[in-house]
Amino acid sequence: MNRLLAPLTAATVCLLGLANTWGETPSSKPAVTPTPQQREWAEQELGVIIHFDMPTYVPGYNWRQFGTHPAPSVFNPTHLDTDQWLKAARDMGAKYAVLVAKHCSGFSLWPTKAHEYSVKNSPWKNGKGDIVADFVQSCRKMGIKPGIYASTAANGYCYVDNPGKVQPGAKITQQDYNKIVETQLTELWSNYGKLFEVWFDGGVLPISEGGANVSALLKKYQPDAIAFQGPEDHPNLIRWVGNEEGFAPDPCWGTANATTKADGTIKIEGMGGSATGSIWCPGEADLTLRRNSSFQGGWFWTKGQDNTLFSVDDMMHKYICSVGRNTNMLVGIVIDDRGLVPDADVRRLKEFGDRLRQDFANPIVTTQGKGNNLELVNPDNRSVRYIVLRERIANGECVLGYKVEWDTGKGWETVFEGQVIGNKRIIQADGAIPKKVRLTVTDFRGTPDIREFSLY
């Protein structure tokens, strides 16, 4: 996220909708299953990612113009309140939060020992503050699972560009930078307790290509953390969906043949995974709460842009196209120069959360069960806005094809056909009044196990 456009290379994309292995069909392969940590992650559905860095104070700053990074003295959030951040997230319904502890500028929101470019040399709290510590404490207080983003792929202060390589003109070597990475990740992963998710924007440069030994650190300090675009040998991976607009591909499988390494600056098609994927690596759909109209793509606060907030209807559409397409939804929250979520954003987050709670609080009717056919009778002929399907993913994605039909008094008619259900599928019914609705699984492996079939 938040970078200038970078060239699309083979290394940028390593996850595509891959074809089936020769001689195999999805139904002939056993289902790949998620780890307990991945199942827990899927249950959360909604998260936030919080950006606060030098562009908040110097809007025109371009981290790729190496040597022009703003001085730490400009970073002075006089009213910073991480409780306010996490309350806003909780009001939306977020179950986890990821703090961007070090973005592409290289400025670190904790007093790192790796170098001097951090809050320890800023006026905020006279250099004695630690935003990461405050954030994690607020997460615990608000009942939200904490996560940390620390890009290893880019660092303007160190003259490092994607995919994590030191550029000409730097005063450090690649080995020096690797030491910085290892020091900072050790600090972040060992000083703040258990983390729910760690974020690698742009992926991780492998050791074989000169990168730091990130995998060993992750295994040592945060083995249970979910890793967005993390080291490929980590058991709890998730992947990008190909855009920063909150729209998952359709279909979007929980399985894939590799994770992703994209930096988010170029929209990429074909990121829906594969029904025959060899690993469980579900998608996370990240998006901004503000339209991508600013230099930093809407991820950072810019004065005078309160009018760029997406409407509640916009956010509901993105929810249907992310959570409702078998991914989690990760909403970008900006922090303003006071150190607070802007008032307009606080209101919009709560309005969106209220709408979600209103629309999905209580189903009209619901059922569950194993097998290929389930049917619901609509009591009192109530108007239906959504049809929700959920598979019991502990057994993997066994449903490979299905159709939903309803009878509005004119006989059965097909209203939707799909491939993957996964953790959740939401089908918009637009206020129809069906007498009955039925689900028929048309292609499968193992035994389809439908956790939820509901009308809302």
Could you read off the pLDDT of 248-290 as tens digits, one per residue? 999 999 999 999 998 887 889 999 999 999 999 999 999 999 9
Q: What was the pLDDT predicted at 345? A: 98
Q: What was the pLDDT predicted at 102? A: 98
Q: What was the pLDDT predicted at 15? A: 37
Could you read off the pLDDT of 34-49 as tens digits, one per residue? 999 999 999 999 999 9
List of domains in the chain: 26-360 (3.20.20.80), 365-455 (2.60.120.260)
Query: CB of 89 within 8 A of CB of 48?
Result: yes
Q: What was the pLDDT predicted at 204? A: 92
Query: CB of 278 within 8 A of CB of 219?
Result: no
Could you read off the pLDDT of 350-385 as tens digits, one per residue? 999 999 999 999 999 999 999 999 999 999 999 999
Q: Say whether pLDDT at 291 is over 80.
A: yes
Name the residue with tokens 């994605």: 397
**Per-residue pLDDT averaged across 29-33, rounded?**
90
Could you read off the pLDDT of 55-85 as tens digits, one per residue? 999 988 999 999 999 999 999 999 999 999 9
Instruction: Using pLDDT thresholds of 50, 70 and 90, give the confidence band for residue 5.
Output: very low
Q: What was the pLDDT predicted at 29? A: 82
Residues above pLDDT 70, as percent of the chain: 94
Instruction: Using pLDDT thresholds of 50, 70 and 90, give the confidence band for residue 93.
Output: very high
**Per-residue pLDDT averaged across 307-325, rounded?**
97
CA distance 307 to 305: 5
**Cβ partners under 8 Å of residue 358, min gap 6:** none
Q: What was the pLDDT predicted at 296? A: 58
CA distance 226 to 216: 15
Instruction: Using pLDDT thresholds of 50, 70 and 90, give the confidence band for residue 439.
Output: very high
Could you read off the pLDDT of 125-169 as tens digits, one per residue? 999 999 999 999 999 999 999 999 998 999 999 999 999 999 999
Could you read off the pLDDT of 396-433 as tens digits, one per residue? 999 999 999 999 999 999 999 999 999 999 999 999 99
Could you read off the pLDDT of 176-216 as tens digits, one per residue? 999 999 999 999 999 999 999 999 998 999 999 999 999 99
